[in-house]
Structure 1
Amino acid sequence: MRKILWVVMLALLAWCGWWWLASAGLRGGVEAWFDDRAAEGWQADLGTVEGGGFPLTLRAGLRDIAVADPDAGLAVETAALDIRAPAWWPGDVTVQLDDGPILLASPLGRSTLTMQGGTMALQLHPGTALELEALGWTAGAWQVSDASGVQMSADALTLTMTQTEGATYDLVARADTFAPGDATRAALRLPDSIPAAFDSLQMQATVTFDTAWDRRALDQARPQPRRIDLHLAEARWGDLRLNLSAALDVDQAGVPTGTVAIQAENWRAMLDVAQTAGILPPQLRGQAEGILNALAGASGNAETLDVELTLDGGAVRLGFIPIAPAPRLIIR
C-alpha cells in the first residue's frame, strides 16, 4: 500500500512539474512572438499575460493587444484574448475572442468588429513547425462598422479549414442571416424592395497551397494557392440568386488559369442594383444587358444566366472574347 502511495505521489509531483513547465512555456512563447515581431519592425504591443488553468488546462490571458504588419498594411487592436489548451497536448488550442470592440485596419480603411462568443479552435500536428491540421472559427451575432455606421452583420458565423493531405485544405464558410448595414445600403443606394438580409450566403472549396500552413505563415511568408476547386459559392437575396463554381490552377505570379461557371437568376435585377450603386455606368447598361440577354437566351431561359468563363493568358474570356483582366490571387 505504501508503495502505491509513493507511486501516486511521484506521479502527482511529475504532473505538477510538467504543468508548470508547459504553462510557463506557453506564456513565454506568446511573449517571445511579440518580441520577435517588434524586432522585425511591426507594432507589437502587449500589456500583460496571465496564467492559470491548473491542473488540466494551460492558459495565457492576453490583455491590451495591438499588432500591425507594416508590409501588409494590416492592424488589430483588442482589449483581451484568451488562449487555452489541454495540458496533455498543447497543440489543440482554443482562442476566445473579446466580446468588446476589436479595431481593424487595412488598406481599405478602419473598422470595428463586435462579435458575441467568438471562438477559434486550432488543431496542430506534433512538431516544432506546428503544422495546421484544422481550424474552426464560430461566433454568434456579429457586426462590422466604421465611422459611417454599420457596414454588415449576421446572426452567426462559421469558418472551417481542414487539412486533407499535405498542403491541401477543405474550406467552408457560412454567415447566417447576413445583412448589409444601413451605411452599406445607403452607399449602394439599394431600394427598399431588396430584403434586409440574405436567405443564404455560403462557400465550400478545396485549396492546395504551395506549402502547408504552419508557424512560418505568421512570421515569414504566407502559403500561396496553387489549385482552387470552388465547389459552391451561393448567395440568395430575395429574388436574386447567384451560384459560382470554379476549377483553377494558379501560377507563382498569382495568375489563375481554368474555368468559372456562373448561374444567376433575375440577372436584370442585379444590373439594376449595379447601376443604382454606380458600379455599372448608365451608358454601358444597354450594352451589358444586350450581351447578357443573348447569353441567357442561349441557355434556354431568358431570366436565368448560365455561362462558363475561361481564364487564360491573364484574361477572362467568354468563349474566345476577352472581357476583363484576370485577377491576381495572392495572399499578402
Structure 2
Amino acid sequence: MRRLMWIVALVALVWCGWWWAASSGLRGGVSAWFDARAAEGWQAEVQEVTGGGFPLTLRAGLRDVALADPQAGLAIRTGTLDIAAPAYWPGDVTVTLDDDPILIASPFGRSTLTMADGVMALNLHPGTALELEALGWTSGPWQVEDAQGILAQAGDLTLTMVQTDGATYALTAAAQSFAPGSAARRNLRLPDTFPGAFDSLQMRADITFDTAWDRRALDQRRPQPRVIDLHLAEAIWGDLQFNLSADLTVDAQGNPSGTVAIQAENWRTMLDLAENVGALPAQLRGQVEGVFQALAGASGNDDTLDVELTLRDGAIRLGFIPLAPAPRLILR
C-alpha cells in the first residue's frame, strides 16, 4: 500500500512538473510570437498574459491585444483573448474570442465585430511537422457595424477546414439567417418589402494542395492549391438565387483549367444591386445585360442564367469565345 502511495505521489509530482513547464512554455510562446511580429514592423501589443487551468488544461489569457500589419493595412484590437489546450497534447488549441466589440481597421474602413460565443479551434497532428488536422471558427449571433450602421449580421457562423487525406482538405462555410444591415440595404437601395435575411448562404469544397498544411506554412511558403472541387457555393435571397460549382486543376504558376457551372435566377435584379453599390459601372450596364440576355435565352428561360464556362490557356471561355483573363490562384 505504501509503495502504491509513493508511485501515485511520484506520478502526481511528474505531472505537476510537466504542467508547469508546458504552461510556462505556452505563455512564453505567446509573448515570443508578439515580439517576433514587432520585430517585423507590426504593431504587436498585449497588456498582460496570464496562466491557469491546472491540472488538466493549459491556459493563456491575453488582455488588451492590438495587432496591425502595415503591409496588409489590417489592424485588430480586442479586450480579451483566451487560449486553452489539453495538458496532455498542447497541439489541440481553442481560442475564445471576446464577446465585446472587436475593432477592425482595413483599407475598406473601420468597423467593429460583435460575436457571441466566438471560438476558433486548431487541431495539429503530433510530430515535428505539426501537420494541420482541422481548423474551425464557430459562433452564435454576430454582426459587423461601422459609423453608418450595421453592415451585416447572422444567427451563427461556421467555417471549417478538415484534413481528409494527406494534402486534401474539406472546406465548409455557412451563416444561418445572414442579413445585410440597414447601412448595406441603403447602399443597395432595397425596398422595404425586400426580404431581410438570406434563405441560404453556404459553401462546400474539397481542395488538394501541393503539400499538407503544417508549421512550414508560417515561416517558409504557403501550400498552393492544385485540385479544386467546389461542390456548391449557394446564395438564396428572396427571389434571387445564385449557385456556383467548379472542377479545376491548377498548375505550378497558378493557372486554373477546368469548368465552372453558374446558375442565377432573376439575374437582372442582381445587376441592379451590383450597379447600385458601384460594382457595375452604369456605362457598362447595357453591354453586360445584353450578353446575359443572350446567355439566358440560350438556356430557354429569360430570367435564369444556366451556363458552363471553361478555363483554359489563361482565359475564361464560353464555348470557343474568350470572355476574360482567368485569375491566377496563388496563396501569398
Q: TM-score, normalised by structure 1?
A: 0.93
Count of aligned pairs between the two proteins: 332
CA distance in 2, matches of 1:220, 1:50: 30
User: Identical aligned pairs, as a percentage?
Assistant: 73
CA distance in 2, matches of 1:14, 1:196: 58
Deviation of the 1:157 alpha carbon: 0.3
CA distance in 1, matches of 2:66, 2:96: 16
- What letter corresponds to residue 123 of structure 2 in structure 1? Q
Deviation of the 1:220 alpha carbon: 4.3
CA distance in 1, matches of 2:254, 2:131: 23
CA distance in 2, matches of 1:328, 1:189: 33
Give deviations 1:269-299, integer Å, cap 9, x for gaps.
Answer: 2233333444334444443333323322322
Matched, 1:139 2:142: no
CA distance in 2, matches of 1:56, 1:70: 39
**Which residue does the alignment assign to 1:222?**
222
**Which residue does the alignment assign to 2:291?**
291
Q: TM-score, normalised by structure 2?
A: 0.93
**Which residue does the alignment assign to 1:57?**
57
- What letter corresponds to residue 136 of structure 1 in structure 2? G
Q: CA, structure 1 residues 254+67, in 2 after alignment: closer, same or farther (shift >3 Å)?
A: farther
> Higher mean Cα deviation, 131-140 or 64-73?
64-73
- What letter corresponds to residue 265 of structure 2 in structure 1? E
CA distance in 2, matches of 1:302, 1:141: 38
- Whether the 8 Å CA contact 1:190–1:277 is kept in 2: the answer is no
Give deviations 1:89-125, integer Å, cap 9, x for gaps.
Answer: 1111111011112122333333211101000111101
**Which residue does the alignment assign to 1:176?**
176
CA distance in 2, matches of 1:181, 1:324: 33
Deviation of the 1:219 alpha carbon: 4.2
Give deviations 1:190-237, integer Å, cap 9, x for gaps.
Answer: 233421110100000111223322233344443332321111000000
DSSP-derived class of the 1:5 partner: helix
- Whether the 8 Å CA contact 1:240–1:264 is kept in 2: the answer is yes
**Which residue does the alignment assign to 1:316?**
316
RMSD (Å), alpha carbons: 1.9
- Whether the 8 Å CA contact 2:187–2:276 is kept in 1: the answer is no
- Whether the 8 Å CA contact 2:256–2:312 is kept in 1: the answer is yes
CA distance in 1, matches of 2:28, 2:275: 55
**Which residue does the alignment assign to 1:97?**
97
Give deviations 1:114-154, integer Å, cap 9, x for gaps.
Answer: 10100011110112332210012110111112222211111
- What letter corresponds to residue 254 of structure 1 in structure 2? G
**Which residue does the alignment assign to 2:187?**
187
CA distance in 2, matches of 1:256, 1:194: 37
Structure 1 segment 152-171 matched on structure 2, within 5 A? 152-171=152-171
CA distance in 1, matches of 2:315, 2:109: 29
- Whether the 8 Å CA contact 1:37–1:219 is kept in 2: the answer is no
- Whether the 8 Å CA contact 2:248–2:256 is kept in 1: the answer is yes
Unpaired runs of 5+ residues, structure 2, are none
> Higher mean Cα deviation, 275-284 or 289-298?
275-284
CA distance in 1, matches of 2:113, 2:247: 33
CA distance in 2, matches of 1:211, 1:34: 27
- What letter corresponds to residue 198 of structure 1 in structure 2? F
Deviation of the 1:266 alpha carbon: 1.7
4+ residue runs over 4 A deviation: none
DSSP-derived class of the 1:176 partner: coil
CA distance in 1, matches of 2:294, 2:222: 42
Unpaired runs of 5+ residues, structure 1, are none
Q: CA, structure 1 residues 106+8, in 2 after alignment: closer, same or farther (shift >3 Å)?
A: same
Q: CA, structure 1 residues 220+187, in 2 after alignment: closer, same or farther (shift >3 Å)?
A: farther
Q: CA, structure 1 residues 70+281, in 2 after alignment: closer, same or farther (shift >3 Å)?
A: closer
**Which residue does the alignment assign to 1:117?**
117
DSSP-derived class of the 1:183 partner: helix
Q: CA, structure 1 residues 291+99, in 2 after alignment: closer, same or farther (shift >3 Å)?
A: same
**Which residue does the alignment assign to 2:198?**
198
- What letter corresponds to residue 298 of structure 1 in structure 2? A
